[in-house]
Structure 1
Amino acid sequence: MKYLASIPRRPYVSNEEVIRNAFERNQLMLTDALLDFQLQYAGYYHQHKGEVFIYGMLHEKSTYLPSLDIDFDDDNPQDVLHTCMDCLPSEMRALNKQGVFYNDYRPVAESFTKYLEQRAFRWKLSQEVEWETINLPTHVQEAVKEEQSGKLEEYMVVEVSDQYARIYQLNQGLVIKSTQEQAIAWKIAGTRQQLFYFDL
């Protein structure tokens, strides 16, 4: 993945025996999905709004959160959430045992790989031209959700969409990400775009 090659990677815990022992000592179940995440992605990081998000459940040195920090899904208290990024506690990022990626206690991607594919899609677009975020009014967001299975379906970018987020590229200058909570849009900076009968 070109996107991963473009971001830095810090030293990370990669020894499988060390990882297994740490989970066992803490009486936590280590699933294949959690182990794969640690081995593939630990140490990589990105910045968002000036804050650093370091991927991994075990870190050689944590800044904000202890290694193997856990929480629980409010909707399903039996579902343990494993903190998967060292970041400010208010920016909670986690995986459940199946590897579903959570942001602020909400599932947002079927896996961390899918989440990275979505980031990579936006990153690739930004390498070609400058994009700007469009704050969609509530009535436009509702229209997007109503049209997902109709007018928008043919524009879905299938390889980066899943049950939690659908990405639509309506033309070369307009992209929409629709989740259960909201719809977000990006357009090429300085352009005028139209979504249904709404000017953006």
Structure 2
Amino acid sequence: MHTKTLTEYLASIPRRPYLSDEQIIKSAFERNQLRLTEALLDFQLQYAGYHHQFYGEFFVYGILHEESVHLPTLDVDFDDENPKNILYTCMDCRPSEMRALNEKGVFYRDYTPIAESFTKYLEQRAFRWKLSQRTQWEAVNLAEHVQDAIKEEQPGKLEEFIVAEVSDRYAKVYQPNQDLVIKSMPEQITAWKAAGTRQQLFYFEL
């Protein structure tokens, strides 16, 4: 199930022709002696063909592509260095920008899991997109001691501000007020505020 925001977001972005023939998809996996899981097939059917741009680079969603720039045509690109957690490339983009799913559908960026599913990842993109419709945002440079304080306070003072539909075990998103958003991940904490505003978080001015 998609939130209303994600449904609106998907309707706003282009979708290229995509491969939806399940037999062709299954054959590609069998040819590589790989198991096509429900999560991987669901991703291909739901999201293949959608794409976004980042600094002018295209990221085209899909495991199999009839036409692609960086991936093999009608074949599966995968990393089986860890046979117990094979990663399947899920975007046609520069190899240095690795994006992948494991068989359970967990979404990886640069070999690090960042969302429990691709849908959750898109919910996070849609959340940011919806916010940007209202106002301009600017990144907040959080000093290390501020990040440490947020980690300490997170289970208590921040929990009431969690945005549940875009949070999971890999990332928690908080919105203390309409002009401040905080994203907490194990490796870092990032924040954004409405451009030109002054924000207070605990005893820190942002």
Q: Structure 2 length as normaliser, TM-score?
A: 0.93
Look up the SS of the partner of 2:34 in the other structure: coil
Alignment partner of 1:57 is 2:63? yes
Note if 1:70 corresponds to 2:71.
no
2:99 aligned residue (71, 83, 93): 93
Alignment equivalent of 2:39, drawn from 33, 37, 40? 33
The amino acid that maps onto 1:144 is I
CA distance in 2, matches of 1:51, 1:78: 31
2:148 paired residue number? 142
What is the CA distance between 1:132 and its match in structure 2? Answer: 1.0
Map 1:177-192 → 2, pairs under 5 A = 177-192=183-198
Q: Distance in 2 between matches of 1:72 and 1:149?
A: 36
Find out whether 1:129 has 2:135 as its counterpart: yes
| Structure 2 unpaired stretches of 5+ | 1-6
Whole-angstrom distance in 2 between the partners of 1:121 and 1:86: 23
Distance in 1 between the 2:83 and 2:171 partners?
23
- Post-superposition offset of 1:166: 0.2
Q: Which runs of 4+ in 1 moved over 3 A?
A: none
Q: Report the counterpart of residue 195 of structure 1 in structure 2.
A: 201
Q: Any idea what the Cα deviations from partners look like across 1:34-60, whole Å, max 9, x if unmatched? A: 000000000000011221110000011
Encode CA deviations 1:73-124: one digit per residue, 9 max, x unaligned. Answer: 7xx5521000000111111110000000001111100000000001101100
Q: Distance in 2 between matches of 1:146 and 1:71?
A: 36
Q: Distance in 1 between matches of 2:71 and 2:23?
A: 22
Give distance in 1, aligned partners of 2:78 and 2:179: 40
Root-mean-square deviation (CA, aligned residues, Å) is 1.2
Structure 1 residue 72: Cα displacement:
4.3
Aligned partners of 2:42 and 2:183: how far apart in 1? Answer: 27
TM-score (norm 1): 0.95
Residue in 2 that maps onto 1:13: 19
**Code of the aligned partner of 1:70:** F
Task: Give deviations 1:142-189, integer Å, cap 9, x for gaps.
Answer: 212221101100000011100000000010100001000111101001
For residues 146 and 88 of structure 1, the distance between their equivalents in structure 2, rounded to whole angstroms, comes to 37
Structure 1: any 5+ residue segments left out of the alignment?
A: none
Considering fraction of residues, name the structure with more strand.
Answer: 1
Give the distance between the partners of 1:30 and 1:16, measured in 2 at CA. 10
The residue matched to 2:124 in structure 1 has which SS? Answer: helix
Whole-Å Cα distance in 1 between the matches of residues 94 and 42 of structure 2?
24
Aligned positions, number: 198
